């Protein structure tokens, strides 16, 4: 018997909560089809009180981009169950600080298509994760800005980009930063939607403009995309599973203190860009 999943919109334009999923692996075909459609339409799915292990988290994440049967290269940190964002766990990523809006690995020619976090150990009041949609931002972009960016590309880097309010910002230092140049109006590789594809944390410049022109145009785009009214704020609880389209959706977080409430999030992403050791980040505070 086919069951229709119960869902609830998180914002008018993106994000849905899925209610009552039984997390068996693999999920039945009808459930997978509904979830894939919802993921393509809404870009971000939230499941609460879901008891899943790392394997199930990665399987569901990859199923949503129709890659559940494609093996990742073995030995990459994010395929093994050892990739955590945490202010408690030794060796975890982003252990403290604030993160400006970004899409993970936006500096890669083929960034993560899907990214997910699972609330492994959460003590209230844990710092939330903030989200915006580059698809919604493009759809609502004023015509004069659409015309201005038509045909323009931006350079993204894993190296340092210092812009805007840097209070408490966590800076990741990379010896040999990867870079990628992408159209600002990027066509989504799976859905075909146009995505406003620049971010405050990783976009270094708009190609072919002077520094002043580039910064002014980026500032106008950021002001539109990061309008507080366009953001969704996810308040973490233990056993929350949040999975999003990393090309369409950007994320950020307010400042996390090392000695604040426990905030341990298990991360899964796909596909993983292959990096050399000197292209991996080390973390320090901006201020
Ligand atoms: Fe991130």
Ligand 1: centre distance to CA 42 (Å): 19
> Do the Cβ atoms of 154 and 181 come closer than 8 Å?
yes
**Cβ within 8 Å of residue 150, ≥6 positions away:** 185
- Cis amide prior to 26 (ω within 30 degrees): yes
Ligand 1: centre distance to CA 158 (Å): 12
Ligand 1: centre distance to CA 102 (Å): 6
| pTM given for the model | 0.94
Ligand 1: centre distance to CA 169 (Å): 13
Ligand 1: centre distance to CA 15 (Å): 17
Q: Give the phi and the psi of residue 136 in degrees, each rounded to 5.
A: -65, -40
- Residue 49's region, left for phi above 0, alpha for psi from -120 to 50, else beta, is left
Ligand 1: centre distance to CA 104 (Å): 5
- Cα distances (angstroms) measured from residue 120 to each of 94, 212, 259: 16, 44, 17
- Cα distances (angstroms) measured from residue 246 to each of 39, 112, 146: 11, 6, 22
- The rounded distance, in Å, linking the Cα atoms of 76 and 69 is 17
Ligand 1: centre distance to CA 252 (Å): 7
Ligand 1: centre distance to CA 98 (Å): 11
pLDDT of 1: 47
pLDDT of 131: 98
**Cβ within 8 Å of residue 185, ≥6 positions away:** 138, 146, 149, 150, 194, 195, 196, 197
pLDDT along the chain (287 residues), means of 10: 82 97 84 97 97 94 93 73 91 92 94 97 96 98 97 94 90 87 98 98 97 97 98 98 98 95 96 76 64
Ligand 1: centre distance to CA 198 (Å): 14
CA dihedral (72, 79, 187, 35) in degrees, to 10, reads 100
Beta pairing partners, 129:
234
pLDDT tens readout for residues 232-278: 999 999 999 999 999 999 999 999 999 999 999 999 999 988 777 67
Ligand 1: centre distance to CA 105 (Å): 8
pLDDT of 287: 56
Ligand 1: centre distance to CA 113 (Å): 13
Ligand 1: centre distance to CA 49 (Å): 23
Tell me the HSE value of 85 on the side-chain side, using a 13 A CA sphere.
Answer: 25
């Amino acid at each position: 018997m086919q069951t229709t999943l119960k869902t609830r919109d998180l914002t008018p334009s993106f994000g849905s909560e899925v209610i009552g999923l039984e997390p068996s692996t693999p999920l039945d075909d009808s459930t997978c089809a509904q979830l894939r459609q919802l993921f393509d339409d809404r870009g971000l799915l939230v499941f609460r009180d879901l008891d899943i292990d790392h394997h199930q988290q990665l399987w569901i994440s990859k199923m949503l981009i129709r890659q559940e049967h494609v093996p990742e290269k073995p030995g990459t940190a994010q395929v093994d169950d050892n990739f955590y964002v945490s202010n408690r766990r030794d060796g975890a990523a982003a252990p403290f600080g604030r993160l400006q809006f970004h899409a993970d690995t936006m500096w890669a020619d083929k960034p993560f298509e899907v990214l997910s976090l699972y609330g492994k150990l959460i003590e209230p009041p844990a710092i939330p994760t903030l989200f915006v949609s580059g698809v919604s931002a493009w759809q609502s972009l004023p015509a004069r800005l659409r015309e201005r960016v038509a045909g323009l590309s931006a350079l993204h880097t894993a190296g340092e980009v210092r812009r805007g309010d840097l209070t408490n910002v966590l800076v990741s230092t990379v010896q040999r930063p990867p870079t990628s140049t992408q159209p600002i109006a990027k066509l989504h590789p799976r859905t075909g939607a146009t995505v406003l594809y620049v971010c405050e944390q990783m976009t270094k410049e708009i190609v072919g403009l002077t520094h002043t022109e580039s910064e002014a145009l980026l500032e106008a785009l950021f002001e539109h995309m990061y309008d507080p009214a366009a953001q969704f704020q996810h308040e973490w609880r233990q056993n929350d599973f949040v999975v999003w389209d990393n090309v369409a959706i950007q994320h950020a977080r307010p400042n996390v203190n090392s000695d604040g409430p426990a905030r341990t999030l298990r991360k899964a992403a796909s596909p993983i860009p292959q990096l050399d050791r000197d292209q991996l980040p080390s973390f320090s505070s901006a201020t």
